[in-house]
Structure 1
Amino acid sequence: MPSDAQLDALREVANIGCGHAANALSRLMGGRKVDLSIPRVVLTRPSDAAGLLGGDAPVVAAWLGIEGGLRGVLLLALPQEDGNALEALLLNGQPAIHQVERDSVVAETANIVASACLSAMGRLTGWRLVPTVPTVRRGSADGVVSDAVGQVEGDASRVVVLEARFLATAAPPVGGQLLLVLERDSIRDLLARLGV
């Protein structure tokens, strides 16, 4: 388990990265205010990570792999109703006729959010961190997290999840979670790069 100083360092990295992600989401949503919780750091088994999203609750999610100095995935997940509200908001209130159109909105949102988050983390660490092409999934939180964590290379018997919740003051409000799931060796590398 990381020490208190290491946990503080990880929280600070998550806070900066997720803060940039929230700003990107705010711009995407026409300048609406996006409130972000203080990120928490969770060391967990992949099978237990789904509990962070509410177990079997239906979600709309997209994840992106991370290329560069870190190995892991960044997951943007919204409860189903919030996902529908986000899609309607970004489609100017017009209902999406085709599933492909709806998935495209979620994928593009995740791409913008992930790019902002990883760019901020890259500036902190000196690494060039690049997201891969997004994968969109709709279904239970269990299934989504299981599939996303399954993409993490290396030792994934224990993963570190940096988790933050966000809420956008849209009408209706749009809320969800950002999860940064990192393989254990990547956490060691990140802590070494941060000097803790």
Structure 2
Amino acid sequence: MSQPLHSDAQLDALREVANIGCGHAANALSRLMGGRKVDLSIPRVLLTGPSDAAELLGGAAPVVSGWLGIQGGLRGALLLVLPQQDGAALEALLLEGQPAIHQTERDSVMAETANIVASACLSAMGRLTGWKLVPTVPTVRRGRARDVVSDAVGQVEGDASSVVVLEARFLATAAPPVGGQLLLVLARDSIRDLLARLGV
């Protein structure tokens, strides 16, 4: 079962970092979607394992995800995850209503979206911490939430049985609305380095 971190000061510091990073990511997504408003929830912070992290996204529910590794001062991954229906709506919106004939086209749209969102998030976090944080090449996965997330979390170096997940939900006022989640997954030693950098 997911467990919270123990120190309120640590929780507040991590939420603030996630809030700034995800806020910039939401702004990037808004610009990508032609200026449509993107509402973002206050991020929550959980100490969890791969299987519990997957349940945050609905377990067996079908999703589409673009995820990228993080290089630089932190080790982890950033995931943009959408329910299957919302992913299709986003792809149609970004393709200007033209249906993608090939799966590669749909994957390319999702990969580019994840790359733009992740780059905005990591750039904001980098300015806050003084670290240069760079995303890796995005990977697109479609399937059950638990499989998609477990695969991504499993790529995080370090103790994969215990990672910190900073999770925020977003909703874009498109037609139909497009919603999903942003997950920042960090190895525990990276969280210690981040908290030390923030002085908590």
TM bracket (short chain): over 0.9
Tell me, in whole angstroms, the C-alpha distance in 2 between the residues paired with 1:155 and 1:147. 14
1:28 and 2:32 matched: yes
Q: CA deviation at 1:2?
A: 3.8
Which residue of 2 is the match for residue 97 of structure 1? 101
Tell me, in whole angstroms, the C-alpha distance in 1 between the residues paired with 2:105 and 2:178. 19
Q: 2:177 aligns with which of 134, 149, 173?
A: 173
Q: How does 1:40-55 map to 2 (within 5 A)?
A: 40-55=44-59
Tell me, in whole angstroms, the C-alpha distance in 1 between the residues paired with 2:91 and 2:160. 32
Q: 1:149 aligns with which of 150, 153, 176?
A: 153
Q: 2:19 aligns with which of 15, 28, 33?
A: 15
Tell me, in whole angstroms, the C-alpha distance in 2 between the residues paired with 1:58 and 1:156. 23
Q: How does 1:115-134 map to 2 (within 5 A)?
A: 115-134=119-138
Which residue of 1 is the match for residue 74 of structure 2? 70
Which residue of 2 is the match for residue 60 of structure 1? 64
Partner SS, residue 123 of structure 1: helix
Q: CA deviation at 1:45?
A: 1.4
1:160 and 2:159 matched: no
Q: Which amino acid aligns with 1:135?
A: T
Runs of 4+ with deviation above 6 angstroms: none
Partner SS, residue 96 of structure 1: coil
Identity in percent: 89
Q: Which amino acid aligns with 2:82?
A: L
Q: CA deviation at 1:191?
A: 0.1
1:188 and 2:175 matched: no
Which residue of 2 is the match for residue 110 of structure 1? 114
Partner SS, residue 111 of structure 2: helix
Q: Which amino acid aligns with 1:176?
A: G
Q: How many residues align?
A: 196
Tell me, in whole angstroms, the C-alpha distance in 2 between the residues paired with 1:82 and 1:91. 14
Q: CA deviation at 1:38?
A: 0.3
Tell me, in whole angstroms, the C-alpha distance in 2 between the residues paired with 1:26 and 1:157. 34
TM-score by length of 2: 0.97
Q: CA deviation at 1:112?
A: 0.1
Name structure 2 gaps, 5 residues minimum: none
Partner SS, residue 53 of structure 1: coil
Name structure 1 gaps, 5 residues minimum: none
Q: CA deviation at 1:46?
A: 1.5
TM-score by length of 1: 0.99
